[in-house]
Every structure is written in C-alpha cells, then in structure tokens.
Amino acid sequence: MTKTNPSKGSLASQADRHTLYELSVQCPEAEVDFIEDAFLKLKKRKALSLREDFCGTAAVCCEWIRRSNRKTAIGVDLDADVLEWGKTHQASQLDYRQKRRLTLFNQDVQTVDSVHVDAIVAMNFSYWLFKERDQLKRYFKSTCNALVEDGALFLDAYGGYESFQEIEEQREIDENGQAFTYVWEQEKFNPVDNGLICSIHFEFDDGSRIERAFHYDWRLWTLPEIRDLLLECGFSRVTTYWQGFDKDGDGDGDFKPVTQADADAGWICYLVAEK
C-alpha cells in the first residue's frame, strides 16, 4: 500500500471523479471513428452535425468538433455541474473557432428542442434510465423527429448472461499520471422487471476509495425490445454492430454489422437506427 502525504489527504480525496470516469469508461476517439464510419457506409455521405444526449463532460462533442471545421455538436445534459466541468476541462481545449461550433444545453433530453441534426448519440447505456416502455418510446420518437431526413440515432447496449447477475468487475488503470482501480458493480438485479442498479467505485493504492462515484438506476433492455421500439417509433432500419476478439480473447474495438452473435457471458454492442 502506498503511503500518502497526510497534509494532502488520501488519494481518493485528491482525485476528480470526472477525470477518472473519462479515463476508465470513455474513448471518444473510438466512438467518433465508429459514428463517422458507420454513417458514411450507410448514408454515402459524411455526418456533419451531431447531438450528444446525456453528454456528461461533452467529451464526444469536443472530439467531433476537432475532426473537421464543418462539424457542429450539441451536447445535452440535465446536470449543470457536469456540463460546467466539461466546459472547464474539455471545451476549454478547443480554439475559439471550434468553440463557436459547440452548443451545450443544460436540459432534459426528453424535452430539448434542438435543430435537426445528422446524428444523435446516446452512449454508455444512458437511455436505460427510461424504464417504462412508453417513456423510452417517447424519447426515441423525439430523437427521430430531431434528425434530418437521412439521419441516424446511435446507441450502445450491453448484455450476456453475466448482465443478469449481481457481480463486481475490476480493472487497473494507469494513464495520464493517474493510477487507480475502476470497479463496476451490478448491485441489484430484479428479474421481474429487469431493474438494474449499478455503481462505479474507484480504489487507490493507499487503500482509499470513492464509493459510488457514479450510480445508475436502470432497466436492462434487451436488443429485440430496443429494436422493436425503434421501428415502432418511425425508424426505418436498425443495425446491430458487434465487435470481434483480439488474440487474448478481449474485444478488439472493431464493430461490424451482424444478424447473429455468440451467447457470450458479457458483450457490448452498438445499434444504429436510421430514420
């Protein structure tokens, strides 16, 4: 165990949970690569305007903006504090021209009134907080209405038999001068309604821990349920993208369209719903 300088406090007390979240959960470069490639292949043109729902620190918006001076991004999040963090740590790294192409709305994605965009993204399972069918349906309908005629909605989802279990997974992270353990805990699963309570904790070498740094109260939606709802809401086609495996058996980050996949213990996929 590492000794800490008592005057500075524990490593947990010095850490910033948004920095740790970005390091352990997000990879905006890979996400934007996927959105750009899939959109180009499906629509035979480049996506230029993006709306990132549940944007949190707006990391994906900022990566999008950096890719081309023709690109615009709108980020929507209900939490003013996380948006403020995003402005200070993410948007502040854009130059003044890039900043002009970024709009952040402190609003509810259910009621936000944005301009029509090429692509809307809702990542890291954020839309799972809509637990009732009607509620998720209203959200999907509103995204369909907010897309241009050949626009597309990008979602992710996870599943596999481990997703129905109350389990904990750990990953060591040592990046950008930050060394910590990322802990993903599926705290409670209710098979009657697929209610799923999850938390992210962060642990440090001095034994300190940020307990429930992030906490989620979700419904574990299955792929056929999501696809059927999207089609009911006016989307014309839904494609599922599955990743392959590297030589160690880990996901290789290369997502390809599939109609069939292996019944793995745990998987993450993308869904693209075309208007």
Ligand X SMILES: C[S@@+](CC[C@H](N)C(=O)[O-])C[C@H]1O[C@@H](n2cnc3c(N)ncnc32)[C@H](O)[C@@H]1O
**Residue nearer to ligand X on the CB measure, 4 or 126:** 126
The CA-based angle 201-202-207, given to 5 degrees, is: 120
Q: Quote the least distance from Cβ 57 to ligand X, whole Å.
A: 7
Strand partners, 175: 178
| Rg of the chain over all Cα atoms, to the nearest angstrom | 19
**Residue nearer to ligand X on the CB measure, 112 or 231:** 112
Residues 5-34, mask of contacts with ligand X (x by CB under 6 A): --------------------xx--------
E strand map for 160-223? 168-175, 178-190, 195-203, 209-219
DSSP sequence for 212-267: EEEEEEEE---HHHHHHHHHHTT-SEEEEEEEEE-TTSSEEEEEEEES-----SSE
Provide the residue type at 253 as one letter. G
Q: Which of 108, 252, 254, 262 binds ligand X (CB under 6 A)?
A: 108
Chain residue whose CB lies nearest ligand X: 56
DSSP helix/strand/coil, 161 = helix
Q: What are phi and psi of 256, to 5 degrees?
A: -125, 150
Q: What are phi and psi of 106, to 5 degrees?
A: -90, 80
Q: Which of 55, 73, 183, 196 binds ligand X (CB under 6 A)?
A: 55
Q: Quote the least distance from Cβ 109 to ligand X, whole Å.
A: 4
Q: Quote the least distance from Cβ 46 to ligand X, whole Å.
A: 22
Residues 58-87, mask of contacts with ligand X (x by CB under 6 A): ------------------xxxx--x-----
Binding to ligand X by residue 56, rule CB under 6 A? yes
**Which positions from 141 through 180 interact with ligand X, judged by CB under 6 A?**
none
**Which positions from 110 through 139 interact with ligand X, judged by CB under 6 A?**
110, 123-124, 126, 129
Q: Given the rule CB under 6 A, which residues bind ligand X?
A: 25-26, 54-56, 76-79, 82, 108-110, 123-124, 126, 129
